Amino acid sequence: MTTPTIELKPSAHPLSDAEREAVLANPGFGRHFTDHMVTIKWTEGRGWHDGQLVPYGPLSLDPANMTLHYAQEIFEGLKAYRQPDGSVATFRPEMNARRFQRSAHRLAMPELPVETFIEACDALVRQDKAWVPAHGGEESLYLRPFMIATEVGLGVKPANEYLFLVIASPAGAYFAGGVKPVSIWLSEDRVRAVPGGMGDAKTGGNYAASLLAQAEAAAKGCDQVCYLDAVEHKWVEELGGMNLYFVYGNRIVTPSLTGSILEGVTRDSLLTVARDLGYEAEEGRVSVDQWQADSENGSLTEVFACGTAAVITPVGTVKRTGAEWKQADGGPGKVTLRLREALLDLQRGTREDTHGWMHRL
Ligand code: COI
């Protein structure tokens, strides 16, 4: 595989310091974008080429661009954190790079070399470093690498040319309430992914497929939808864009990777962070009936959602057809908060990086 260099063509008109600071004072999630983006092309027979860092701006696409019709698209999400000494580091970018390769394989797209993925993220963060929020808070710079097909035509086939991009967006809390517990609607009829399907690939189609169920959850007064497996409609899989953890006192359990669950970087990291803190941490199968019964008998002490965007978010209330219950007292649990602080401290550079996870720029 070829590994292109990235040519720098910085913006002549970046946002002023005052304009940028106004955005950083209240970034929200995914609403504002930095001054630049990275683009790298892939063409059949030539491989990866024309790596560029250019001013952030619209793309011009032919209406018959294949992505617009057949959704050959994949993406990633990772964050850059301001460190105590003012430098910047990203969290486990090689995990995202490898997952991006697996997603590309699943959607018959070319695999971007891991080092090119990381270099593209680094180049953007270096150029737009002023956009990385101050050290110590909840804020970070969210990076969104993605790839689209760029061939023009309506035949259904893998495209013969693609565009890889990285854009960046300063991010506060994903949920408006911050660490306020979220409510979950257990969807027992709609499924997110099927065995042999694309559930373990990070592709826009999975998120489009979640929107109707998400709207139904909202209509039931819930913040998020939780999906069960597509075969038995029994086993807990994941939320629309986050993995789940169940806390049984000193033991935490997350649904095993069945092929229809996204292999979250936060999910994976928490297995290790929890063990470092002295908890038992395991992957296993949790049924929806067990979830309800263990909540009612008190053995299930906390439930939380996790993901790059959402970090760790407590689950407060759960609803399913014919039942509704609170997790513990409905507030954030102490294990949830301890894991959240430990992970954030590691990412913010105030906890020792014993696993070599931080990628310093
Ligand atoms: C992430 O946590 O990075 C996600 O991709 C979830 C969502 C914002 C799509």
CA 307–ligand 1 middle distance (angstroms): 7
Give the count of beta carbons closer than 10 Å to the beta carbon of residue 221. Answer: 11
Which residue minimizes the CA distance to atom 7 of ligand 1?
241
Task: Judge if the beta carbon of residue 264 lies within 6 A of ligand 1.
Answer: no
Which strand (E) or helix (H) includes residue 38?
Answer: strand 36-43
210 CB near ligand 1 (under 6 Å): no
Alpha-carbon span 339 to 351, nearest angstrom: 12
Using the mean position of ligand 1's atoms as its centre, give its distance from the Cα of residue 68 in Å.
Answer: 21
Q: How confident is the model at residue 32 (pLDDT cuts 50, 70, 90)?
A: very high
- DSSP character string of 201-213: S--HHHHHHHHHH
Mutate to test the pocket of ligand 1, among 99, 211, 239, 242 (most ligand atoms within 8 A of CB): 242
The whole-number pLDDT of residue 177 equals 65
Please tell me if the CB atom of residue 307 comes closer than 6 angstroms to any atom of ligand 1. yes
**Cα distance between residue 278 and residue 268, in whole Å:** 16
What pLDDT digit, counting tens, does each position of 148-201 carry?
999 999 999 999 999 999 999 999 877 776 688 999 999 999 999 999 999 999
What is residue 12's predicted lDDT score, i.e. its pLDDT?
86
Q: Is the CB of 309 under 6 A from ligand 1?
A: yes
Percent of the chain's residues with pLDDT above 90: 91
CA distance 356 to 324: 42
Q: Could you tell me the end-to-end alpha-carbon distance of the chain, in angstroms, rounded to an integer?
A: 24
> Could you tell me if 191 and 230 are in contact, meaning their C-beta atoms sit under 8 angstroms apart?
yes
Find the 240 Cα to ligand 1 centroid distance in Å: 9
Q: What share of the chain is helix, strand, coil (3-state, %, to 5)?
A: 25, 30, 45
Q: Provide the 3-class DSSP secondary structure of residue 118.
A: helix
> Within its chain, how far is the Cα of 28 from the centroid?
16
Distance 38 CA to ligand 1 centre (A): 20
Q: How far is CA 7 from CA 29, 37, 119, 120, in A?
A: 29, 12, 12, 10
Share the mean pLDDT of the chain: 95
Rounded distance from Cα 297 to ligand 1 centre (Å)? 33
Q: Rounded CA gap, 337 and 342, in Å?
A: 9
pLDDT tens, 251-269?
Answer: 999 999 999 999 999 999 9
Query: In degrees, to the nearest 5, what angle opens at C-alpha 145 toward C-alphas 182 and 212?
Result: 40
Nearest one of 143, 83, 146, 94 to 118, comparing CA atoms: 94
The best mutation among 74, 91, 174 to test binding of ligand 1, ranked by most ligand atoms within 8 Å of the C-beta, falls on: 174
Report the alpha-carbon distance of residue 55 to residue 13 in Å, rounded.
9
Give residue 241's pLDDT: 86
Give the angle 52-28-128 at the CA atoms, nearest 5°: 25
Mutation to probe ligand 1, out of 200, 308, 311, 347 (largest number of atoms < 8 A from CB): 308
Question: pTM of the full predicted structure?
Answer: 0.96
The whole-number pLDDT of residue 28 equals 92
3-state class (DSSP) for residue 159? coil
Least confident of 12-16, 23-27, 146-150: 12-16
d(CA 46, CA 36): 26
Rounded Cα gap, residues 36 and 156, in angstroms = 33
Among the listed residues 195, 226, 198, 53, the one whose alpha carbon sits nearest the alpha carbon of residue 126 = 53
77 lines ligand 1 (CB under 6 A): yes
Per residue in 46-77, pLDDT (tens digit) is 999 999 999 999 999 999 999 999 999 999 99
- Examine the pLDDT at 34 and tell me if it is beyond 90: yes
Helices 265-276, 334-347: inter-axial angle, 10-degree rounding: 110
Handedness of CA 28, 32, 35, 40 (dihedral sign): positive
> Which residues touch 348 (CB under 8 Å, ≥6 apart)?
81, 82, 83, 84, 135, 136
Comparing C-alpha atoms, which of 134, 153, 105, 146 is closest to residue 25? 134
For ligand 1, whether the C-beta of 93 sits within 6 Å is: no
Ligand 1 atom having least distance to the Cα of 308? 2
Contact (CB, 8 A) for 97 and 71: no
